[in-house]
Chain A
Amino acid sequence: MDRFRMIFQYFQSNSESVMNGICGLLALASVKMYTSFDFSCPCLPQYNMAYGLGIMFIPPIILFLCGLILNRQSLVMLEEWRRPQGRRKKDLAVIRYMCSSIMQRAMVAPVVWIIVTLLDGKCLICAFSGSVDPEKFVGFANASTVQVQQLLAKVPCKDEELVRNSTSRKAVSRYLRCCSQALGWSILLILIIAVFLARWLRPCFNQATLLQARHWSNYIDMEQKIFEEACCEHSRLFAHKCILHFFESMRQEIKLHSFSLPREGERAEGEEDLRGITDKDQLNKLLKTWYYEKPPLDVNHTHTEKLFNWLLS
């Protein structure tokens, strides 16, 4: 029992930190994914924008969904939301609290991806190289429209023959990277300020409601874990009893059919553990019976009733 208590105390104090840990791991994974991903802009007029914006926005959606999937509390919240009312009322404030905490944690990895993408700059250069104003750059000012589009589309590809040593290409590239990094830092600054204000001003509004919601959401989570543990413990005991009953019933069957009963006094030392099965044929029969006719899931009548009621409620 002490061991259970220790484990439950660990879960209690650390369920928040487990979720924070998962959140941090996902953020690190998103950085790692970005660095190992081989970004290769197609450098074609119609494809650049789709590719660039796709790389900037689709992985964050994937990371967001992963953050929801990996968070155990999202299942708990959904179950609490969809359960029939029964004898326990539902508190929408608790569900809202759980939802907002899940969403906040799931948003960290996508935001990290977007910021890393913007600070690196490759995506924006690829997506918007065709949209810069060619008049601003010397090399592109004199070409026809179609040619300009082609050349601008090739700006992200440094090794492309047409624009390899072009200073205008480097100028466009630097310009777009500057815009991208400015955007990245601005978004980061705004987010940090928003988080700071939210944390600092929260105690000014509805602190009591918040404390209640947090307590009951922890309670629901803990209750779910303990229920699962109780089911595991119960199925272990049930199986234990079932098997003992099976061995006992085999012993009785042997007693009924066999004339070669060991007399009580003649039992050798150590035979108590044998449960009356003392030769090869008996054991083979026991194993065969175990396969062909598993015992009913019923260790006694009252137990069955309680089990029925519990499972149906």
Chain B
Amino acid sequence: MDKFRMIFQFFQSNQESFMNGICGIMALASTQMYSAFDFNCPCLPHYNLAYGLGILLVPPFILFLLGFVLNNNISMLAEEWRRPQGQRGKDPAVLRYMFCSMAQRAMIAPAVWVSVTLLDGKCITCAFCTSVPVESLGNASHPRLSQGEIQRVLAQIPCKEIYNGQQLIANEVAVRYLRCISQALGWSFVLLMTTLAFLVRSLRPCFSQAAFLKSRYWSHYIDIERKLFDETCAEHARSFAKVCIQQFFEGMSTDLVAARCHLPRKGPADAGEAAEKLLGITDQGTMNMALKSWHRCKPPLHLHPPALPTGNGWAGEGQPPTYPSTPRRETAAYYSWV
């Protein structure tokens, strides 16, 4: 039990740092994904905007969902949300706390992607190159072109090798302008996110600190209870299997004795312990029979078969359990003052 206690304490004390670690890894992964991604602006008037904004907004959405998927606590939240009330009331404040903390962690990787994209500048350059103010930035003596022609020429700005509008507006001027706008947007976005995070973190102690402590305690409790229950079931399954198998071998041994009509000879004293462990199976043929029987006819999951038929219906599977007739202590201790 000490070993389990140590492991659970490790998980509990480090659950937050474990989730923060996953969060940091996803943020790094999103930076890596961006630098490995081969950005290829189509340089066509109507496709640029769709491509640029798509690259800016679709991967963050994917990363956000991935942040939820990788978070183990999502199943815990869903379970707590959907379980029948039973004898334990549900506290919406706890559910809100769990959801908020998961959403905050899942927002980090998308925010990193959007910041890196904006600070790099390629997406905005691609998306908005057709909106460059040609009147103020363009060359004064540019040839008069129709609107469609101008759009087509401007759309080629991100693709330096095919750009042929130097008379209209210099490529470097337009790219610098768009990149400046993009970086300004990027830094503003980062500043906004950081300010929001700071406000959320620092205003919490000023309001509802007691409710926060309660929600945090009970959400940790639900998590620990689930883990302990799984551990207890695993222990139970182990003991169950052990006894089941032991009974199987004993059954085989009894069958063998009955079939051969002789009593097992007791071996010499010093080999007694080893012989006991052999459970009466001492040659290849018998072992093969035992293995075949194990495969063909596994024993029932029932260590003490009923002596009398049970006439009551309580063992029926589809009914919710009824209250037993003995009085129980009916104190519902689950509450919320929020």
Contact = CB atoms under 8 A, between A and B. Distances in A.
A37 interface: yes
B212 to A, nearest CB: 10
A159 B44 CA distance: 27
8 contacts: A55-B183, A161-B170, A256-B325, A274-B243, A278-B304, A283-B301, A288-B321, A290-B229
Interface of A: prevailing SS:
helix
Nearest to B196: A65
Contacts of A256: 324-326
A257 B243 CA distance: 24
Contacts of A59: 187
Contact of B334 (A43, A233, A261, A296): A296
Contacts of A65: 194-195, 197-198
Contacts of A231: 217, 220
Contact of B303 (A40, A240, A268, A307): A268
A301 B235 CA distance: 29
B18 to A, nearest CB: 14
Contacts of B86: 292-294
A247 interface: yes
A82 B205 contact: yes
A240 B246 contact: no
Contact of B228 (A79, A236, A273): A236
B86 to A, nearest CB: 3
B305 to A, nearest CB: 7
Given A260-B305, A281-B315, A292 B325 contact: no
Nearest to A239: B225
B151 to A, nearest CB: 22
A44 interface: yes
Given A259-B308, A260-B308, A239 B224 contact: yes
Interface residues of A, number: 88
B88 interface: yes
Contact of A293 (B84, B190, B205, B232): B84
Interface string B261-283: 00000000000000000000000
B83 A239 contact: no
A7 to B, nearest CB: 9
A117 to B, nearest CB: 13
Interface string B166-186: 000010110011011001100
A68 B310 contact: no
A44 B177 contact: yes
A141 interface: no
A285 B321 contact: yes
Interface residues of B, number: 82
B190 A62 contact: yes
Interface string B212-245: 0010010011001100110011011001101100
Contacts of B201: 69, 75
Interface of B: 5-6, 8-9, 12-13, 83-84, 86-88, 119-121, 137, 170, 172-173, 176-177, 179-180, 183-184, 187-188, 190-191, 194-195, 197-198, 201-202, 205-206, 209, 214, 217, 220-221, 224-225, 228-229, 232-233, 235-236, 239-240, 242-243, 246-247, 300-308, 310, 312, 314-315, 317, 320-321, 324-326, 328-334, 337
Nearest to B334: A297
A252 interface: yes
What 4 A-B pairs have minimum CB-CB distances, sorted nearest first?
Answer: A293-B86, A280-B301, A260-B306, A279-B302
Contacts of A288: 317, 320-321
A50 B181 CA distance: 11
Contacts of A297: 88, 333-334
A233 B9 contact: yes
A270 B228 contact: no
A58 B304 contact: no
A312 B315 CA distance: 42
Nearest to B217: A231
Contact of A40 (B8, B183, B337): B183
Contact of A295 (B88, B170, B224, B302): B88
Given A69-B194, A243-B225, A296 B333 contact: yes
A235 B224 contact: yes
B13 A58 contact: no
Contacts of A239: 221, 224-225, 228-229
A78 B202 contact: yes
Contact of A160 (B172, B179, B243): B172
A243 B209 contact: no
A5 interface: no
A264 interface: no
A284 B315 CA distance: 10
A157 interface: yes
Nearest to B188: A58
Given A235-B217, A239-B225, A279 B332 contact: no
Given A82-B205, A258-B310, A293 B331 contact: no
A171 to B, nearest CB: 22
Given A42-B176, A43-B176, A232-B9, A307 B301 contact: no
